[in-house]
Amino acid sequence: MTPQGGYKDPTPIVSNALGGTANLSGQGGPSSGFNNDMGKQNTKITLVRHGTTQMNSGNVIRSWKDIPLNDQGRAEAEKIGKELKGKNIDGIVTSDLSRARETAEAIARHTGKPILEISSKYRPWNLGKYTGKDVKTAAPIIQDYTLNKPGEKVAGGGESFETFRNRFLSAIKEVGDKYKGKNIAVVAHHRNDRLLAAWEKKGYPKDLGIDTKTFIQHGMEPATARKIVLERRYSKVKKLADKL
């Protein structure tokens, strides 16, 4: 397991399913196809999970609750910011929730790179009434929604798993299209990491299907990062060995 505050270099996840699409979010994003200009048009993403909050320490569901980093989380954010300095980051996009935004601001300070987007597109799954509940209690319920009721909204004003999946993966597609040839730090949340990992495990199907076992497993620790390479050609999947 990667220790808190560490940088995992690299985890080369190469997607052949992030091909050019029309704007899927309805928010004026880019609408461009992939081209075959090998290395120049690849988009690298450094996926960062935000630092620790009081709710992380209590092992309860954070979801869309807007809670700041605690003292430990702020120290972790500074540490990952320092570790990303010199890693050829071109810019940062982040969830608009304060714990992610504070982590992004620390990365921006240490790398000297701008925050390009602050958006709700990078939020985690809205788990409605289960926000604030103990993880052990909520986990089987979340698993039931994922496996058996993916199109059903989570009780208490939440969103369906399909809505979360389509929202976040569409946002990642937009990053791939909008920032061709760049290395973009995406600061997001635990379930965003799990969603990408589960999609990868399934082989990046175009219907956005995932490996549900991977999705419900524990993923990145707070304030850690891993690399994802969006291959601009979708004729085959090819792992890239270059390091950040």
> Which DSSP letter does residue 35 get?
-
Return the minimum-mean-pLDDT range out of 42-51, 90-99, 212-221.
212-221
Banded pLDDT at 148 (limits 50, 70, 90) = very high
What per-residue confidence (pLDDT) applies to 27?
A: 26
Which are the contacts of 8, defined by CB distance < 8 A and separation ≥ 6? 2, 224, 225, 226, 227
Quote the pLDDT of residue 171.
93
pLDDT averaged over the chain? 79
- pLDDT for the residue numbered 18: 35
pLDDT tens figures, 195-211: 998 887 887 777 888 88
Average pLDDT over residues 169-177: 90
How far is the C-alpha of 185 from the C-alpha of 182, rounded, in Å?
10
pLDDT reported for residue 14: 30
pLDDT band of 93, cuts 50, 70, 90: very high
Instruction: Tell me how crowded residue 205 is: count the other CB atoms within 10 A of its CB.
Output: 10
Q: Phi, psi (5° rounding) for residue 226? A: -145, 160
What is the residue whose two structure tokens read 């609750």? 65
Mean pLDDT to the nearest integer, 129-156: 90
Look up residue 186 and give its amino acid. Answer: V
Taking the C-alpha atoms of residue 217 and residue 92, their distance in angstroms, rounded to an integer, is: 27
The answer to whether 168 and 195 are in contact (CB under 8 A) is: yes
Contact in structure between 48 and 194 (CB atoms under 8 Å): no
Q: Is the pLDDT of residue 186 over 70?
A: yes
